[in-house]
Amino acid sequence: MLIGASGFIGSAVQRRLEEEAISTLALGSADIDLLDTSASIHIAEALHPNDAVVMLAALTPDKGRDIATLMKNLTMMQSVCAAIEKSGCAHLIYISSDAVYDSRMNRTTEETPASPPDLYGAMHHTREIMARSLGQVPVLVLRPTVVYGLDDTHNSYGPNRFRRAAKNDGKITLFGGGEETRDHIHVDDIAALTVRCLLHKSTGLLNAATGRSASFHYVAEMVANQFGNSIEIITTPRANPITHRHYDVTNLIKAFPDFRFIDLVDGIALVHKESLVTA
């Protein structure tokens, strides 16, 4: 059961599940309203004890960063947890976020303490704890880093916004000089990792990151290159201190030593190519 199947990551996971010929009940926001009091009943009716659940439905920050959004997100998770408590399931993967980490934390591992700096991070951290509270259900929490891909609608700072800015405005505007480094992962890698974790029935906590960080300036250059170097990269006076984030993905390598990530340069080129086809 894939809950949140119509979203950016959910769609990619659904595609991957289909490629692997894994029988899937994909539920998007059009299929079920997790804020409705009857949601847990509907989920419980469709859920069987041998099923696995991937939960990634959430109101993302672009839908709101306030307390009301936090409470809605917790209610959505409450519906899912109530259904699992009633019907049981064999495996639960909760797709969380690296927002649970303090933004000042640089080198990040699974041992890095969660210390969310805002309500969005607190929401994911709370939902992780809700998932783990489900008694006998084996739970994996997957914490993706910055995800990019063609279908991203969130327009957050990074490859997706840079591509749109380059296409629409002919320029990419950076915060400061774009010195900050982040680990960018292609949405198809998140989907592939999710399916691997399902097949291995992985439990515990795993950061979904590539282990290689790049500066936003570098990413902007790579995006600009797709347009034939006609794109202007504009730096601005720095308003905030520079922060970096690097992931130590040793645990991921130990879990899946033959997993191959999409290289950032290749991934940016792939998304650009897909966007041309879509256009």
Which member of 49, 90, 250, 273 binds another protein (CB under 8 A)? 250
Is the distance from CB of 141 to CB of 94 less than 8 angstroms? yes
Residue number with CB closer to another protein (94 or 216): 216
Is the distance from CB of 204 to CB of 255 less than 8 angstroms? no
- Residue 258 lies near another protein (rule: CB under 8 A): yes
- Residue 1 lies near another protein (rule: CB under 8 A): no
Residue 38 phi, psi (nearest 5): -90, 0
Site size with another protein, rule: CB under 8 A:
20
Applying the rule CB under 8 A, the residues between 75 and 114 that interact with another protein are 111
Residue 116 CB partners (closer than 8 Å, separation 6+): 99, 100, 101, 102, 122, 124, 125
Task: Tell which residue, 2, 50, 45, has the closest CA to residue 26.
Answer: 2
Task: Tell which residue, 169, 171, 149, has the closest CA to residue 160.
Answer: 149
Least distance in angstroms from the C-beta of 254 to another protein: 5
Residue number with CB closer to another protein (80 or 262): 262
Which member of 135, 228, 241, 257 binds another protein (CB under 8 A)? 257
Cα atoms in the 13 Å half-sphere on the side-chain side of 202:
23
Q: Which stretch binds another protein (CB under 8 A): 21-29, 155-163, 193-201, 245-253?
A: 245-253
Residue number with CB closer to another protein (80 or 252): 252
Is the distance from CB of 255 to CB of 248 less than 8 angstroms? no
Site string for another protein, 184-223 (x = CB under 8 A): ---------------------------xxxxx-xx--x--
Which member of 135, 254, 277, 279 binds another protein (CB under 8 A)? 254
- Residue 135 lies near another protein (rule: CB under 8 A): no
Applying the rule CB under 8 A, the residues between 160 and 189 that interact with another protein are 181
Task: Tell which residue, 184, 192, 176, has the closest CA to residue 223.
Answer: 184
Least distance in angstroms from the C-beta of 257 to another protein: 5
Distance between CA atoms of residues 230 and 47, nearest Å: 52
Is the distance from CB of 269 to CB of 208 less than 8 angstroms? no
The site for another protein (CB under 8 A) is made up of: 111, 181, 211-215, 217-218, 221, 248, 250, 253-254, 257-261, 264
